[in-house]
Amino acid sequence: MIDDKIKENIQIAEELAKEICTGKTSTSPLAGEWKEESPELYEELRKQEQLPDEISFHDSINVNEALQQVNKRIILPPRRFNIRVISSVAASFLLIIGTATLWLWMENREEVVPEWVASAPAAPKTSIIAQNDEPVELAESNLTVKGNQLFGSSLDGKKNISIELKPDNEFNKLSVPAGGAYQLTLEDGTVVQVNAASELLFPTHFKKHLRQVELRGEGYFKVKANPGSPFNVLLGTLNVQVTGTTFNIKAYEEEENTCITLIEGSVNVREGQKLLATLSPGEQFIYRKASHEYNTTQANISVTTGWTEDKFVFHNETIGNIMTELSRWYNVEINVSDDIRNLRYSGILSRKQPLTDILNILHLTNELDFKYYKDRKIDAVEKRDK
């Protein structure tokens, strides 16, 4: 029975999560059998650094209620699916979904998919436009501006890159393609994490009383405090102004909204000389480009900043927006049919796992099917045999 199998998987999931968090070996025969059959997966699970801290994200979920909803969904599927069903059915185990969930939930599902869908994402080379206006590939993701040069360091601190930057009155351009994410320390000590499919324009040296960069896409800023020299992030017609604070900006040109989320400090958002908003920590400013309307609301910080920790964090998010995030990270084109675009889901998923793992989990909702094509294209459609 499907219901019995899900119950068994939930039990294994909870036993494994408890064992990893407490360090005490589980006495469950089911968990023991799973570890014997999948030793490599178990070792991978043990490497999950933030599992204890994040399990609380799911502790409020009633697993029995979720199981009942899953059973209803399989037996007599409603037209719309509760976001807290499959995505959270194994509450604590969702955090390690990237490695073991396919074994637990999908072991009997056979489907041939292209190799590029089933492979773990490989970060492409990020490039920077240097003095000769030619792009230079960057092999390391930890970059620092020092003097007139850009240095790149590996995790062990070894400097592998040294690039001559442009003169002071010109912007350098850091271009991060789909599937990449890079950290850049500017010459004043400000740290910027730049997400996939984004560009950051920055000077080699800031002016004495003004620090200014330009962002296209998404970036997470930790601005070095300097009250005498405001820090400005230009976003088309908008200008985000701070003196020292932590915030996230999502400003992709192809998206309808620009979102500015304040983590610490204070942020002023201006359009020309007009002050649109002053944000307090935990607030998000949303600007609608087409209508020029805007509002401020409370932010879900874990959702906004999950990407900085190599996670997708979705909370009541539409499948249309989820597919946009997946397209950008995995460098694929995903076309979503209109009849499923507004379905909503919640969950935490690793950005390091193969795309097929995530799509298979979504397939479990019994709402979605995916059609794969050789030229890195996918169609997300409504499942017809529900």
Model confidence, pTM: 0.76
Number of domains in the chain: 2
CB 35 within 8 A of CB 42: yes
- Nearest by Cα to 89 from 368, 366, 296: 366
Q: What are phi and psi of 349, to 5 degrees?
A: -135, 150
pLDDT of residue 307: 95
pLDDT of residue 6: 54
- Same domain? For 279 and 227 the reply is yes
- Same domain? For 200 and 226 the reply is yes
CA distance 150 to 129: 11
- Same domain? For 318 and 298 the reply is no
- Same domain? For 85 and 180 the reply is no
Which long-range CB contacts under 8 A does 108-113 form with residues at least 24 apart? 109/360, 113/356, 113/372
pLDDT of residue 315: 85
- Same domain? For 325 and 260 the reply is no
Q: Which DSSP category does 309 fall into?
A: G
**Four-point Cα dihedral 325, 337, 346, 9, nearest 10:** -110
pLDDT of residue 346: 81
pLDDT of residue 7: 60
CA distance 348 to 95: 6
pLDDT of residue 194: 97
Q: What is the mean pLDDT of each run of 10 residues along the chain (386 residues)?
A: 56 71 79 77 59 47 43 35 32 35 44 75 80 82 89 65 84 92 95 96 92 97 95 96 96 96 97 95 96 95 93 89 94 93 85 87 81 91 76
Which residues form the domain of 331? 2-110+311-382
Query: Which residues are paired to 138 by β-bridges?
Result: 126
CATH number of the domain at 84, please: 3.55.50.30
Tell me, yes or no, whether 120 lies in a domain: no
Q: Which among 289, 304, 319 is the end of a domain?
A: 304
Buried b / exposed e across 40-64, counting CB within 10 Å, b at 16+? ebbeebeebeebeebbebbeebebe
CB 200 within 8 A of CB 194: yes
- Same domain? For 134 and 175 the reply is yes
pLDDT of residue 40: 65
- Same domain? For 264 and 146 the reply is yes
- CA 337 from chain centre, in angstroms, equals 23
Q: Count of CB atoms within 10 A of residue 287's CB?
A: 23
CB 354 within 8 A of CB 121: yes
CA distance 341 to 320: 5
Tell me, yes or no, whether 41 lies in a domain: yes
Question: Which tokens in the block code for residue 68?
Answer: 């009942």
Tell me, yes or no, whether 117 lies in a domain: no
pLDDT of residue 356: 87
CATH number of the domain at 186, please: 2.60.120.1440
pLDDT of residue 303: 92
pLDDT of residue 208: 85
